[in-house]
Amino acid sequence: MTEQQGQQQPSGLAVCYRHQDRETGIRCTRCERPICPDCMISASVGYQCPACVRGASAAGRGSAPRTLAGGALVADTRLVTKIILALNVAVFIAVLSAGDRLVTDLGMLGHAWDPSRGGWDFIGVADGEWYRMLTSAFLHQEIWHVGFNMLGLWFLGPQLEAALGRLRFTALYLISALAGSALSYVLAAPNQLSLGASGAIFGLFGATAVLMRRMNYDMRPIGILLAINLLITFTWSGIAWQAHIGGLVAGAAIAYGMVHAPRARRTPVQVLTCVAVLAVIVIACVVRTQQLVG
């Protein structure tokens, strides 16, 4: 039997490419052809069609199956998530032991005078301490703060890590964290000290929404969860909303480039997407630095 691409129906749904009388909203994660329940073969993320599964098996070691974004399939799809979580907890314990000094030295700060150093000694990103943009994303002072952020990481991280692969997931997390710090640097008061993994976690929210849309999954759960978190962001006092929005936008943009990249040019498109987001971050920070110290 000749296998054909699914045709669009008046209802808006495609039909299974192997069973033309069955409508479906699910597509194979590898070839993107529509498949019905009888043709769905469970994969690490989503479902694959019988043809792709047979092709992967026939190719053997010479052409190992890949994730939706082209990453290598691994047994432990939580490894990077667990490492990031462990780092956050370890730094939280260090903060409890070292006190406020560690927060002052590593937290996100644009440009401020530190009287403890004597004289007119300025500190912050504008003073050349660029590392704060990343180190601040691993800092927490309150148990509820680190608890909520790590809960979000554990809830969203494994699914994204499985879909993107370890290297791509790591890039998504770190660039989202940098984007959150960058928007804080640009929009927040230069002497406002902020910290926490929230920018990176909101990046995971944005990436999850993009992934679910790409997989034709029900968007309502992630939409409701994101709406609740945005409501908290803009109604609770003491929250650096700039970091949340910066991470959210960057995470969505990076994920879109990763999961929608053409298979033939997948890696170059994904690299260029990450480079483009990083370039925006760098340019915004350079301009802001000139405003503060120029």
From 116, 181, 198, 260, the catalytic residue: 198
From 63, 181, 244, 260, the catalytic residue: 244
Q: Is 19 assigned a catalytic role?
A: no
Instruction: Give the chain as a 3 state SS string.
Output: CCCCCCCECCCCCEECCCCCCCEECCECCCCCCECCHHHCEECCCCEECHHHHHHHHHHHHHHCCECCCCCECCCCCCHHHHHHHHHHHHHHHHHHHHCHHHHHHHCECCCEECHHHCCCCEECHHHCCCCHHHHHHHCCCCHHHHHHHHHHHHHHHHHHHHHHCHHHHHHHHHHHHHHHHHHHHHHCCCCCCECCCHHHHHHHHHHHHHHHHHCCCCCHHHHHHHHHHHHHHHHCCCCCHHHHHHHHHHHHHHHHHHHCCCHHHHHHHHHHHHHHHHHHHHHHHHHHHHHHHC
Q: Is 97 assigned a catalytic role?
A: no
Annotated catalytic sites, by residue? Answer: 198, 244
